[in-house]
Structure 1
Amino acid sequence: MTLEQDPSRPQAQGPAEADPNADHKLRGNLGVFYLLFTVFSYNAPLAAVITLVPITIAFGNGIGAPMAYVAAAVVAGLFAVGFLKMARHVENPGGFYSFVSVGLGREVGLGASFLAFVCYYLLMLAAISYMGVATDSLVTTMFHGPHIAWWAWTLLILVIVGVFGYLRLDVSARVLTWLLAAESVMVIVHDVMIVAKGGAAGLTANSLLPHNIFSGSIGLGLLFAMLCMSGFEATVIFRDETRDPERTVPRAVYGFIIVAGLLYSFTTWAIIEGLGEQDAVATIATDPPATFMQTTQIYVGSMGLDVIMVLLNTSLIASIMATHNVLSRYAFNLGVDGILPAILGRIHKVQGSPHIASIAVSVVTFFGVLAVIFTKANPELLYAQLAGGFGYALMLLLLLADISIGVYLTRRRPPGTTIWHRLIAPVLTFVMLALTLYLATENFSLLVNGSASVVNTLLVVIYGVLISGIALALVLKRTRPEIYARIGRQ
């Protein structure tokens, strides 16, 4: 069935009647393996086990934290049920932008696109600023090199990332695969060594006991675990650059959920066993970021710790590259639809990449880095705050997308869908995501590690951007109906 023949697809009016995707398809040849590693790199598993996993244990449900990651994987899996069904009928590779547009209308869709761009940009700016500090620390402490201002390293990394972003996605996918493989192997080595040495006081399965699973704050545990599951939602953004999107995207999505769920739950259990169940929560709470380094030192040794320090830097580079790719494609889609300057929707004749959008993202990031420099902000604190803001915005986007999926599939009833896809899975997902977003709002200061002013500023930015997109769509509906009709390329 062609795009025009699909009765489940809403038909555009006027200037949007022709398929706008025809001349705006990015080119690539990603298989399941490379797509999986591309989106998993954006997740930055080594950085996650260093920063988020200890917080899940200390402030979540204690030694029951491994099951929080299992629960998060289940929620992601439920979301994927309708997400992938909808992806078969919404072929525009706009991610949240496209899904929310066809489900909840162009107004909310444009708001979601603005929110997505800003939240990924916050992550990009946070990671690349912190990367400069991490690189300088690595060079001076491990390699005894000269001290160079963090921003100099950051700008160098920005250039490198920009070059890869300009090229065909297959090129960066291969680099991301090697970087992700290295950090994943090291995390697995850490876990295996703890198991091989029997942990601090013998291995147990007490993390699976109900009274431990529901100890402490299971809600906060789920919140932090859900942040570690981010990445799979980006698969649909790359659909035009995959070898066979109808097979590649679903396999990459479920592959991501399974691998992430197993890796994070097992690593969380290993850390608890490595420190000892009796002391793990109290020990971690004193200094969460030092936890993984501590267990690495004990069970892998100093050489392993040195490798971890190097791989933390490559993990951040991989995450920055993947985030840059996502941002470029959001800018590209908004350019194609006429919301942003049309030049952003151009495709490189040889590379098949959104090269102009990639350059624009690099430029915008450059000015963001300049703002960090001139305001003398602390990149390490900024990383925690902006990454937390990104996590909150992502939960909001997932909730909007889930509602859109349920509405779209129920209203259109496309072939191949059942009540499981249309209602049951989206409703179950909605309950869990709504609870997660509520807890994120209640504990926003903990999530962003900031003062009341930081909390209020980030919340205003997040909801303000969403509302601004909705308002712009309403203005376009009255003043530029031809552009309004192209929102989401429905």
Structure 2
Amino acid sequence: MQIASAPTGLIRKSLGTSALLVFSATASSPMAVLAGAIVATYASTGVTGTPLGFLVMAAALLFFSVGYLAMARYVSSAGVFYAALAAGFGRFWGVVAAPVVLLGYNAIQICLYGLLGAVASGSLGGAWWLWALVAWAAVALIGVLKSRISVGLLGAVLAVEVAVILLFILVSFANPAGGTVSFAPLSPGNLLVPGIGGVVAFCAASFVGYESAAVYSEESRSPQAVSRAAYSALILLGLLYALAAWALAVAVGPDRVVDESRDPASGLPFSILETHASPLLGSVATALVVTSVFAAMVSFHNSIARYAFSLGRERVLPAVFERIGRGGAPVAGSVLQSAVALPVILIFALTGADPVAIMFSWLSGVAAIAVLLMMAVTSLAAVAFFRKGGGSTESAWQRTVAPLIGAVLVGAALLTTLVNLSAVLGTPADSATKWLVPGAVALAVAVGLGWASVLRATRPEVLENVGQGQPRPLAVIEQDLVGRSL
């Protein structure tokens, strides 16, 4: 892989709304949510109002998105959370945020190796870690190639998995338990019960990744393309998850869905396809879980590489991370993410830890807490940014009202996740080990505080440049020079 000479930048105007939507939606791994999060939510919480929980969480994230995306029009950076805090609260706090974002996105990307390995091992045989290493090598390779290749791959996977989920929904509603479609799962009374905290935690984790459209703001055709993609991804995923969760309850019966979800022999949700459609569809759906998780790993890998690029360009990280390949991919950041993921996979393999109950659950818990924290704080940063005179024609709704509501709602989701960690992690309620998860996020905050303090004391010129985002005009590769826009 040839490396472009510095200075350089990401390829401008290379990603349109459809490409950004693909990156955002695949990061949330819809098939994995159907097969994993939805069934696990019913099983762990016993709450039959789970479908309504997905709609409530999507609504909360819509409020967050208003301020976040309005601010992203003016804070054009591949390290969007980091740059947003720098613009809203000051450059020092942007540096503090950087390790938290990198921890959260790395945690969600790496935890997926455990899930992919376990599903592939259960279907095809072999050790889970062997499949994880194969996936790691493929992600590492794709990560240093052109974005266009990633978009084509991820788009094909997303289209097929959405089609299968829609088929699952149609088959379930066409064959309701008892012969009647029940609306009980959409009743607020079935959500506002003990266990609602666990529902909120699982639902919040299911949406992590939709916000990543803004990570590609420097490569987007326009700020409007970023907003359209993020809103579209959130609405698409919110409706898809709620319908799928409702469909599962309809097919099994609201009075039985919790018990059936807790029974591994039930084969939910794909046993519904096998029973009412075709046995082959069950196998296809299982295979799609693997491809869906793989697509999510590629999407998060791309986001992490771009964050590293942004930090390298502004010298918060070494300058080598500013370097990109001839195809426009941030190669150094990509290699860094692969280098971080590999030893984690090997450690879990060598220790014999469960790839799902430990690797996936615990690291996804770290990711959910880190990203929800960044969302809540970023909503407040948007308010501060606009109050300092940022922006131009935004309404009071965009500047203040929606971001404040978003901060409260996302903050409540974060608090609920912390209170219900035992349900998320599958640990005893009195277990102290669960606090290792938020402890990792707290450590990342401490690292950020320490590094920001060092920069302020020894390299103030670096701190002064934090969050600037926009590439140097003469150092940017224009899409017209490298090929057709996506």
For 1:15, the equivalent position in structure 2 comes to none
How many Å apart are 1:61 and its aligned residue?
Answer: 7.5
**CA gap 1:457/1:223 in 2 versus in 1, 3 angstroms:** closer
For 1:70, the equivalent position in structure 2 comes to 55
For 1:6, the equivalent position in structure 2 comes to none
CA distance in 1, matches of 2:380, 2:312: 26
* Cα pair 1:344 1:354 within 8 Å, conserved: yes
Question: CA offsets per residue over residues 355-410 of structure 1, 9 Å max, x none?
Answer: 12112221222222222233332222211221122112211111111111111122
How many Å apart are 1:453 and its aligned residue?
Answer: 5.0
Listed as ranges, the matches of 1:18-167 within 5 Å are 23-27=8-12, 29-60=14-45, 62-140=47-125, 147=126, 149-167=127-145
Listed as ranges, the matches of 1:216-295 within 5 Å are 216-242=194-220, 244-287=221-264, 290-295=267-272
1:440 and 2:440 aligned: no
Question: CA offsets per residue over residues 167-200 of structure 1, 9 Å max, x none?
Answer: 1112101100111111111111111011122344
For 1:459, the equivalent position in structure 2 comes to 438
For 1:209, the equivalent position in structure 2 comes to 187
* Cα pair 1:200 1:273 within 8 Å, conserved: no
* Cα pair 1:50 1:289 within 8 Å, conserved: no
For 1:228, what is the secondary structure of its paired residue?
Answer: helix
Aligned counterpart for 1:486 among listed residues 457, 465, 469? 465
CA distance in 2, matches of 1:281, 1:401: 36
**CA gap 1:151/1:211 in 2 versus in 1, 3 angstroms:** closer
* Cα pair 1:392 1:437 within 8 Å, conserved: yes
**CA gap 1:229/1:129 in 2 versus in 1, 3 angstroms:** closer
* Identity in percent: 25
**CA gap 1:55/1:156 in 2 versus in 1, 3 angstroms:** closer
For 1:416, what is the secondary structure of its paired residue?
Answer: coil
For 1:376, the equivalent position in structure 2 comes to 352
* Cα pair 2:109 2:301 within 8 Å, conserved: yes
RMSD: 2.2
1:327 and 2:327 aligned: no
CA distance in 2, matches of 1:370, 1:380: 15
* Cα pair 1:68 1:221 within 8 Å, conserved: yes
**CA gap 1:125/1:453 in 2 versus in 1, 3 angstroms:** farther
Question: CA offsets per residue over residues 96-126 of structure 1, 9 Å max, x none?
Answer: 1111121122232222211111111112221
**Alignment: residue pair count:** 461
Question: CA offsets per residue over residues 256-301 of structure 1, 9 Å max, x none?
Answer: 1111111011111100101112222333245599431343333334
* Cα pair 2:273 2:282 within 8 Å, conserved: yes
For 1:160, what is the secondary structure of its paired residue?
Answer: helix
User: Which one-letter code corresponds to 1:291 in the other structure?
Assistant: L
* Cα pair 1:57 1:65 within 8 Å, conserved: yes
CA distance in 2, matches of 1:365, 1:284: 31
For 1:89, what is the secondary structure of its paired residue?
Answer: coil
CA distance in 2, matches of 1:219, 1:445: 11
For 1:189, the equivalent position in structure 2 comes to 167
* Cα pair 1:68 1:222 within 8 Å, conserved: yes
For 2:388, what is the secondary structure of its paired residue?
Answer: helix
For 1:421, the equivalent position in structure 2 comes to 398
User: Which one-letter code corresponds to 2:78 in the other structure?
Assistant: P
For 1:449, the equivalent position in structure 2 comes to 426
Unpaired segments ≥5 residues, structure 1: 1-20, 141-146
CA distance in 1, matches of 2:207, 2:9: 30
Unpaired segments ≥5 residues, structure 2: 1-5, 470-486
User: Which one-letter code corresponds to 1:206 in the other structure?
Assistant: A
CA distance in 2, matches of 1:43, 1:371: 25
* Cα pair 1:28 1:170 within 8 Å, conserved: no
How many Å apart are 1:59 and its aligned residue?
Answer: 4.6
Aligned counterpart for 1:472 among listed residues 442, 451, 465? 451
* Cα pair 1:58 1:288 within 8 Å, conserved: no
**CA gap 1:282/1:408 in 2 versus in 1, 3 angstroms:** same
Question: CA offsets per residue over residues 197-244 of structure 1, 9 Å max, x none?
Answer: 2344411323333423424443432332222222221111112222x1
User: Which one-letter code corresponds to 1:371 in the other structure?
Assistant: I
Task: Please report the TM-score for the alignment, with normalisation by the length of structure 2.
Answer: 0.89
* Cα pair 1:47 1:312 within 8 Å, conserved: yes
